[in-house]
Amino acid sequence: MNRSRPISVIASTVAVLLGLMLVLLGSSQVGAQGPTPTGSPPPTYDYDPIKPGTQPPTSTLPGGLLENYESRTLRSHRLVVQVLVPLAEVQALLPPGYVATASPSGSSTAVVNLFCEYQLRAEMSGVGSFGPASGLLVTLSAQNTNLGSRSEGLILATFLNDQSTVEAYNSNFGPGVARLAKTEVEIEEKGGKLRFTCNVEEEGLGFRLRLGAEGPAALVNRPKADPAAGFSRFLNGLTLGPAFRQATQADNVVVPAGSANVTVEAKDGKLHLPGGNLTLGLVTGSVNILRNIETFTKLEAEVAGALSATVQQVGTTATVRIALRNTTSDTLTLADVRSPIPAGMGLLSSTPAAQLVGNELRWTHVSDIAPGQTRTFSYRLDTRGQAGSVQAWAALIGSQTNTSALSNVAAIAAP
């Protein structure tokens, strides 16, 4: 449910928090049947006031980084609050090759960003429009060591209260990326202040959060990023979605957290997310209140591959076979393959010989996988009489430095 008390000024410009990547819809990646459009296209805004007419972002024009963008979204309002969480808990939620960023530097904590979204509407190129929807996103920044040390914005969870928009997200990025959640948003202007309150509940995970803050009602800033720096991705548990770039503009106001009357209340003091739980600590940094946020999104060109993981068992010995196949007509320049050893089990051997980093086997810098070629990696485990599961991940780099990520899981039964 959405509830909003009257607001005296509805701006005709857009607002966004720059530098914190927010997830948007992309082109269809999963399944032959796409979601059914339910809404009308959101309005658009001028990115070049000098030229006559309504001009799109320069980066969406021919030759730009966002040429042939897949989606455009508009949000009526957004509240962003930053909260400290244990660094070790964040690291446990990240796929292999990703390193959580400590904040402050050298500390044992990291920052998560809580995005409360109000009245989100999305237009998918060639498909239609969806929404409105309201809800919450949980994001953070991490280093992708699979691609050097590229900093990426990762969206750990997406909770929305409109079924069609949830289906659109999941159609694009895989089942479980977005979840249907009860949402109540209140926005009140009084005494020159704007008070924003967001309540979100998702029963399947046990997620429950109440988020609130206030700031000046006059949103006097109008930041624009054309395009925004860096890449972002959805996560579905430990499974990575495709990376994407954005262009965006907004009206906003930034308020020090200490003077924003912030409320953050969660079930058990934790964020119950698809990949695990995060214990909430202190509110930090600044609070951002935004209005009418327009964003264009372009997926990074992906390279395609198929990854399988199988297990053969004889007594207490399990042989894990990982197969990585190039399914494109282009040579895969590099690939990294990783597989953690299940807890309580022991490594006997690996072929080809893998690096053992902690409890994780790594085959790195696998080069020049030709079109249609399959590379195989295997290892033998002493299960010590235990059941469990093995996981495999692969990060791929194509000839144009475009990237992709794959994962798979196989079970080990008790003898």
Give the 3-state secondary structure of residue 168.
helix
Tokens at residue 222, please? 């109008």
- Asked if residue 403 belongs to a domain, the reply is yes
Ranges 5-14, 27-36, 112-121, 272-281: which has the least confidence:
5-14
Q: Examine the domain organization and report whether 130 and 248 are in the same domain.
A: yes
- Strand ranges, E, within 341-402: 346-351, 355-357, 360-369, 374-382, 388-397
Torsion, Cα 298 14 59 172, to 10 degrees, reads 10
Comparing 354 with 15, which gets the higher pLDDT? 354
Angle of CA points 379, 381, 387, to nearest 5°: 125
Burial-class residue 40 by CB neighbours within 10 Å (0-12, 13-18, 19+): exposed
Give mean pLDDT, residues 151-156.
93
Q: Which of 299, 326, 354 is the last residue of a domain?
A: 299
Ranges 190-194, 238-242, 278-282, 284-288: which has the least confidence:
238-242
Answer for the pair 387, 287: CB distance below 8 angstroms, yes or no.
Answer: no
What is the rounded average pLDDT for all residues in the chain?
84
- Asked if residue 324 belongs to a domain, the reply is yes
The per-residue pLDDT for 414 is: 67
Residue 13 pLDDT grade (very low, low, confident, very high; cuts 50, 70, 90): very low
DSSP characters over 61-114: STTSTTTT-SEEEEEEEEEEEEEEEEHHHHHHHSPTTEEEPPSSTTSSEEEEEE
Q: Is the pLDDT of residue 354 over 90?
A: yes
- Asked if residue 20 belongs to a domain, the reply is no
Q: Is the pLDDT of residue 316 over 80?
A: yes
- Match 């860096």 to its residue by tokens: 230
The per-residue pLDDT for 296 is: 94
Instruction: Report percent pLDDT > 70 for the chain.
Output: 86
Query: Residue type for 70, please?
Result: E
The per-residue pLDDT for 173 is: 67
Q: Is the pLDDT of residue 188 over 90?
A: yes
> How far, in Å, CA of 207 to CA of 270, rounded?
8
> Which tens digits make up the pLDDT trace of 88-106?
999 999 988 899 999 999 9
Q: Examine the domain organization and report whether 256 and 126 are in the same domain.
A: yes
Q: Which residues on adjacent β-strands are paired with residue 114?
A: 81, 138
Q: Which of 283, 299, 315 is the last residue of a domain?
A: 299
Residue 212: HSE in the Cβ half-sphere, 13 Å Cα cutoff: 13
Domain of residue 390 covers: 305-412
The number of folded domains in the chain is 2
Q: Is the pLDDT of residue 413 over 60?
A: yes
- Residue 21 is classified by DSSP as -
Ranges 40-54, 78-92, 188-202, 362-376: which has the least confidence:
40-54
Q: Examine the domain organization and report whether 291 and 334 are in the same domain.
A: no
Comparing 222 with 209, which gets the higher pLDDT? 209
- Match 């495999």 to its residue by tokens: 392
Answer for the pair 347, 402: CB distance below 8 angstroms, yes or no.
Answer: no
> Which tens digits make up the pLDDT trace of 378-398?
999 999 988 888 888 887 776
- Asked if residue 10 belongs to a domain, the reply is no
Q: Examine the domain organization and report whether 254 and 370 are in the same domain.
A: no
The per-residue pLDDT for 6 is: 33
Give the 3-state secondary structure of residue 216.
strand
The per-residue pLDDT for 206 is: 96
Q: Examine the domain organization and report whether 135 and 270 are in the same domain.
A: yes
> How far, in Å, CA of 284 to CA of 269, rounded?
16
Q: Examine the domain organization and report whether 121 and 206 are in the same domain.
A: yes
- Match 């857009």 to its residue by tokens: 14
Measured in whole angstroms, the distance separating CA 166 from the mean position of its chain's CA atoms is: 14
The per-residue pLDDT for 400 is: 54
Q: Examine the domain organization and report whether 133 and 258 are in the same domain.
A: yes
Residue 153 pLDDT grade (very low, low, confident, very high; cuts 50, 70, 90): very high
- Asked if residue 184 belongs to a domain, the reply is yes
Comparing 287 with 40, which gets the higher pLDDT? 287
- Asked if residue 110 belongs to a domain, the reply is yes
Q: Is the pLDDT of residue 353 over 50?
A: yes
Q: Examine the domain organization and report whether 361 and 334 are in the same domain.
A: yes
Q: Examine the domain organization and report whether 276 and 343 are in the same domain.
A: no
Residue 402 pLDDT grade (very low, low, confident, very high; cuts 50, 70, 90): low
